[in-house]
Chain A
Amino acid sequence: MSAQTDSNSPPRPGWLRVIAVGRNPRVTLIRILILVAACFVVFKFILLPLRVTGISMEPTCKDHSINFLNRLDYLAHEPQRGDVVGIRFAGPHVVLMKRIVGLPGETIAFVNGEIFINGAPLAEPYEKNPCDWTLPPEKIGPNEYFVVGDNRTMPPQDHVFGRVERERILGKVLL
């Protein structure tokens, strides 16, 4: 009886076909379509893949490394101190990567390479390259953040840093 049932059942697909298209090609196709759609939505609108060019965020982000920018992170809360963020120019295709060190309304100053927020020194465990920057206190606007790179070995005039408007911050960089 059991031998009869086996002979009536469809033949088992070959192992090569199973590897290529699965046991059920229709289900495999649906899975592929769902996966492609999910990847498109995630990497187009939520996690933007970025290729880093430049050295001012070293050693946190190496030149030519690949990172992801999470655009949903700041929907629930505002950017925090210590966050590495993507800052847009005219659009999202080229962004500036910097670390937030000053929050809205604070006063920031550099004294012998150390950052002072409202007169108190800021602990920066991520800062591996000591610098000797000394810059006068600067008041950050109500809708602004103060951003700077982690690599401060160059003179300050050779480093892009300063106040950015909140609307320019696209999202948080995943490290």
Chain B
Amino acid sequence: MKIFWRLIFCAAVIALGFWLWTAIFPAPEKVIRRRLEKLAANVSFAADQGNFSRLAGGESVAGFFSTNIEVNINVPGHEQVTFASRAEITQEALAARERLKSLSVKFPDVNVTLAPDKKSAVADVTLDAAISGGHDDVVQELKITFQKTSDGWLITRIETVRTVATFRFTIAAPAVASLWRGKPVEFVASGSYGVSMVICRRLQL
């Protein structure tokens, strides 16, 4: 019986040691997930949030990005967003706080792939954003590239992933365009991506 309790004690000590080790030295994947959670929290703002905290949140968003960045987010039904510097990100984050009543951003699914040299990583994420006044939420898959720097893991690139390959409108654009009533040819020829989508969220048990 004594041996049994000794074994239990040893197992508990090992488990505690392992937990402490992972808490003090977390795996890069875990660090990146936390960074994304923080980014989502800083990008989001509530309708009843005070001006000062809104401003602080907006300015802190740029801190998640590297100085050399390439952000290209093309969400269906919304304007394409491109950023090339931290200043542009701060400007847009503050402008969004002026323009919108509230914004809630989440990354419900995050898959992190670490490069062999462990200096960079790619996170495949689902962006789920609820904009005040918007009928449907914005849902888009994104590929976010992180680089390990002295300031931690910073975002260097964000690109849009096409979940559904759109119909190739460009094949016979002028002919097809003529069939649309009141739609300019250029719009049809651009191969616009749809906006009406049925999104299903898993109910959490």
Interface residues of A (CB under 8 A from B): 39-40, 43-44, 48-57, 61, 66-67, 69, 86-98, 132, 134-136, 138, 144, 147, 149, 151, 154-164, 168
Contact B167 A160 (CB under 8 A): no
Taking the closest CB of chain B, its distance from the CB of A85, in whole angstroms, is 11
Would you give the shortest CB distance from A122 to chain B, in whole angstroms? 16
Q: Mark B162-181, 1 if CB is under 8 A from A, else 0.
A: 01111111011001100110
Which one of A90, A151, A156 contacts B167 once the chains associate, using CB atoms below 8 Å?
A156
Determine the residue in chain A with the shortest Cβ distance to B183. Answer: A155
B198-A149 in contact (CB<8A) = yes
Question: Nearest-CB distance from A88 to chain B (Å)?
Answer: 8
- The answer to whether B200 and A157 have CB atoms under 8 Å apart is no
In B31-84, the 8 Å CB interface with A consists of: 76-77
What is the bound-complex CA distance between A92 and B167, given in angstroms? 24
List CB contacts (< 8 Å) of B149-205 with chain A: 161, 163-169, 171-172, 175-176, 179-180, 183, 187-188, 192-203, 205
Interface centre among B164, B179, B201 (most CB of A within 10 A): B164
Shortest A136–chain B CB gap in Å is: 5
Given A43-B205, A90-B126, A157-B192, A56 and B167 touching (CB < 8 A)? no
Would you call B111 and A53 a contact (CB within 8 A)?
no
Q: Is the CB of B187 within 8 A of A51?
A: no
Question: Contacts A91-B109, A94-B108, A162-B166 given: A51-B200 contact, CB under 8 Å?
Answer: yes
- The answer to whether the Cβ of B139 comes within 8 Å of any Cβ in the partner chain is yes
Q: Given that A90-B109, A90-B111 are known contacts, is A136 also in contact with B201, CB under 8 Å in the complex?
A: no
Contact assessment for A92 and B164 in the assembled complex, using a CB-CB cutoff below 8 Å: no
**Residues in B neighbouring A86, C-beta threshold 8 A:** 200
A43, A50, A92: which contacts B109 (Cβ < 8 A)? Answer: A92
- Tell me whether A54 and B176 are in contact (CB under 8 A): no
A89 touches B198 (CB 8 A): no
Q: Tell which of A39, A87, A160, A168 touches B196, judged by Cβ atoms closer than 8 Å.
A: A160
